Amino acid sequence: MFENIIAQRATVDTLRSELSRESFPRSALFFGPLYSGKLSAALEVARVLTCRTGAADWGCECASCRNQKELSYPHTVMLGPRYWDVEIAACADSLARGRRPASHYLFLRAVRKLTRRFDTVVWDAEESRVHTAQEKVAAIEEMLLALAPGQELPPERKLSKLLEEITAACAQLAGMARGESISVGQIRRLASWAHITAGDSRKVAILENADRMQDSARNALLKLLEEPPAAVHLILLSTRRAAVIPTILSRLRPYAFEQRSPDEESEVLARIFREEPGHFENLRSFFLAWKEINPEKLSQLSHRFIEAVVSAEGTTVDVLGELVELLPSDRRAARERNPKEAVVSFLEELTMRLQEPLRAGKIDLDTLEDWTSALRESLVRIETFNMSPATVVEALYLRMRETARRETRGLAAETVS
């Protein structure tokens, strides 16, 4: 088991041991940075929990394991937002170039990480949207029939055309769910689903980016966590453990996923996405490239933003304008109309650079903590409450600037006294 997980040895060893002893908890939290393998590990836990033979190795051919590997097992559900567009496009490219069985499974799984979000048992939307989504999912599944595991892939040109059509259809489907946090309606549907027996099978629910839920959804989830039905496992995923409210956190067994080393990230890029060593610095730069955002320029922009916050002059930075300039000319008009994705990438980059002014002695730990909280709140405002990215970035600048000024005034007062 966990043969498909690269690195994360300590956490994988713990999971393997608990699953072998049948002591994996009913409620768990997988937390760690982006691209650290949390969802892949959660899906592997689901496969092992529902394996019919008990062998639980990746090569198991029982019906449950086959369906789990293709992400078509009916008693495993997924909720929450994800970076579907770029993942599906990257996996399609890997399959077109490599035509390997691993790339084949990778693409199928990437597509179904999206389509399974629209399972009617958990997706909460008005009737018209449900009907539209079902039609799009059905069309995608029909196209996937030509890529069913165990059969020969189509010829190169036909495969390329098919992958292009599936990727385009997935982009349309993703647009129906993009930016939506897990709603209270989804949690209520999940609770109803959890209380329906599945014969002798266990049920697994995976909630991605669970920290982005609004209060009503959190309260509904808390009720489910307090009395989870028998044979049901809930696995929450988050990049920010501290953003999970204490009442929920206290009911979860935490599993930490560490930032992979440069060598481990290179291994992921080579084995999973068939990228040559040195082509991309890390997984983040790889996915930014698929978003057509220059990672080096994004890093420079975040550095200048922080410098503007801590400098005496406090010169503002036109973040949205410069993010648009990072894009190819044919994409700029669309990004100007909807800058959300680029701003989220900027805020993630900014979060990773907050240690720089601390190391340089320009801020103290209290300021760093306040800035980290402000960034977390900014991401929630954009991704959960769909607030204007321009307004959120401006408010973030003003808050960070005011915190920096308070620290400067405090240091000055200490000097005078």
Question: What percent of the chain lies above the pLDDT cut of 90?
Answer: 41
Contact predicate 407/357, CB 8 Å? no
pTM, two decimals, is 0.85
b/e burial code for range 281-310 (CB count within 10 A of at least 16 → b):
ebbbbbbbebbebbbeebbebbeebbebbb
Higher pLDDT, 231 or 206: 206
Decide if pLDDT at 332 tops 70: no
Backbone angles phi, psi at 189, to 5 degrees: -65, -40
Which residues, including other chains, have CB under 8 Å from residue 25's CB and lie 6 or more apart?
18, 233, 252, 253
Fold exhibited by the domain 9-271? Rossmann fold (3.40.50)
Alpha carbon distance 207, 197 (integer Å): 20
Structural tokens at position 326: 């990072």
Per-residue pLDDT for 411 more than 50? no
* Mean local confidence (pLDDT), 236-257: 92
3 state SS of 189: helix
In sequence order, the 6+-apart residues with CB closer than 8 A to the CB of 172 are: 136
Higher local confidence (pLDDT), 104 or 321: 104
Number of alpha helices (DSSP H) and beta strands (DSSP E) in the chain: 19, 5
The 10s digit of each residue's pLDDT in 110-155 is: 999 999 999 988 887 776 788 888 999 999 999 999 999 888 899 9
Q: What percent of the chain has pLDDT over 70?
A: 92
Q: Please state the domain extents for the chain.
A: 9-271, 291-416
Query: Which residues are 232's β-sheet partners?
Result: 203
Residue 276 identity: E
Q: What is the pLDDT of residue 417?
A: 44
pLDDT tens for 338-370 read 577 788 888 888 888 888 888 888 888 888 889
Mean pLDDT for the stretch of residues 366-377? 87
CA distances from 367 to 310, 362, 400 (A): 11, 10, 8
Q: How confident is the model over 286-317, as pLDDT tens digits? A: 988 888 888 888 888 888 888 888 886 656 77
- The better pLDDT of the pair 159, 383 is held by 159
pLDDT value, residue 319? 79
